[in-house]
């Protein structure tokens, strides 16, 4: 694909997991959206949700395998479905693209390989295997990889080593805290300086609040690369991972909204106002993450006009 793709205004999709839960997916344990990959009865809902975002104006849809990382499947005693779930995520996203008959791109989600929002301090080989296994399964179906809510330069470098071998470019999604640093304590600038290579399509703030994203943009816009956001609408401005991972029957972590809350007051118009403000600061990559819905994406897609 064109390495300059994100130099022009592009609209990304919004949150898949919460949209699927709202459509009737009954999550098991902390599998969340991965439940819809494992259970065939939900496959059409995944396609339908991808299509909702495409029809709302998204130029890019992201595969629905964020929760299908190996560690999460082990914690829920369904590791035997790892290959099936990740391959199916790519297959269903590509099917939605084909059904839409629109010129959209499919991004392969490569999420942080342990808990979300926190540094992965495990040994390099373990993290590398996680990235490689997911990326290899997604590779036949996607146009590029999206490094999805990564928290350190170390994780990014490990992931980039894999994506380079698979010969696909990457959009890098950094998780950013209120102090505008990564959970590792590294600044955005030093992370980019350390990790950026010729395969980067751009940089987004990944699953961060609009307020944190706006503050961090003052630093990001100096880095001379396409940038933007996939913001969340959690009520908790600095989300932390769910800690209840006992079994598929565990109901405590069945929906992250139960402990992170949602900003119901954040309307599509408010999302548009935020996106316009970010566009004026130079952002060309606009999208949503958890708790953003197709109606949010539809509203900001008007900016392409």
For residue 244, pLDDT over 60 is answered with no
pLDDT digits (tens, 9 = 90+) for 154-197: 999 999 999 999 999 999 999 999 999 999 999 999 999 999 99
* Dihedral pair phi/psi, residue 204, rounded to 5°: -130, 150
**Res. 246 pLDDT band, cuts 50 70 90:** very low
pLDDT digits (tens, 9 = 90+) for 90-121: 999 999 999 999 999 999 999 999 999 999 99
87 is written with which tokens?
């391959």
Residue 61 · residue 53 · CB < 8 Å: yes
pLDDT value at residue 249: 52
**Res. 247 pLDDT band, cuts 50 70 90:** very low
Place of tokens 């970010």: 278
pLDDT over 70 percentage in the chain = 96
Range list of β-strands (E), the chain: 10-11, 60-62, 105-111, 144-150, 170-174, 200-208, 227-231, 285-288
Question: Cα–Cα distances in Å, from 97 out to 11, 86, 201, 250?
Answer: 15, 17, 21, 34
Q: Is 152 helix (H, G, I), strand (E, B) or coil?
A: coil
CATH architecture under which domain 5-304 falls:
Alpha-Beta Barrel (3.20)
Residue 183 · residue 152 · CB < 8 Å: yes
Residue ranges of the domains in the chain? 5-304
Average pLDDT score, the chain: 93
What is the four-CA torsion angle of 48, 38, 33, 288, rounded to 10 degrees? -50
For residue 250, pLDDT over 60 is answered with no
For residue 251, pLDDT over 70 is answered with no
Task: Output the pTM of the full model.
Answer: 0.95
pLDDT value at residue 252: 44
Query: What letter would DSSP give residue 12?
Result: B
């Amino acid at each position: 694909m064109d390495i300059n793709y994100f130099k022009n205004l592009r609209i990304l999709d919004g949150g898949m997991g919460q949209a699927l839960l709202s459509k009737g997916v009954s999550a098991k344990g902390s599998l969340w959206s991965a439940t819809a990959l494992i259970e065939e009865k939900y496959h059409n809902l995944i396609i339908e949700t991808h299509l909702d975002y495409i029809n709302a104006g998204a130029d890019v849809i992201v595969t629905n395998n964020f929760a299908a990382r190996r560690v999460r499947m082990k914690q829920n005693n369904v590791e035997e479905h790892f290959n099936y779930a990740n391959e199916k995520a790519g297959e269903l996203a590509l099917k939605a693209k084909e059904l839409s008959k629109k010129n959209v791109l499919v991004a392969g989600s490569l999420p942080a390989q342990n808990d979300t929002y926190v540094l992965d301090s495990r040994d390099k080989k373990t993290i590398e295997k996680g990235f490689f296994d997911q990326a290899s399964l997604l590779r036949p179906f996607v146009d590029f990889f999206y490094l999805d809510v990564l928290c350190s330069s170390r994780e990014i470098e490990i992931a980039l080593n894999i994506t380079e071998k698979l010969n696909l470019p990457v959009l890098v999604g950094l998780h950013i805290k209120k102090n505008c640093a990564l959970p590792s304590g590294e600044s955005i600038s030093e992370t980019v300086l350390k990790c950026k290579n010729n395969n980067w399509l751009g940089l987004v703030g990944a699953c961060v609040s609009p307020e944190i994203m706006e503050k961090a943009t003052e630093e990001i816009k100096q880095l001379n690369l396409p940038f933007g956001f996939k913001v969340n609408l959690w009520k908790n401005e600095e989300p932390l991972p769910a800690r209840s991972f006992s079994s598929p029957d565990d109901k405590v972590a069945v929906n992250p909204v139960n402990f992170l809350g949602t900003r119901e007051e954040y309307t599509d118009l408010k999302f548009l106002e935020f996106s316009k403000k970010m566009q004026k600061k130079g952002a060309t990559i606009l999208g949503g993450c958890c708790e953003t819905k197709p109606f949010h994406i539809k509203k900001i897609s008007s900016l392409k006009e």
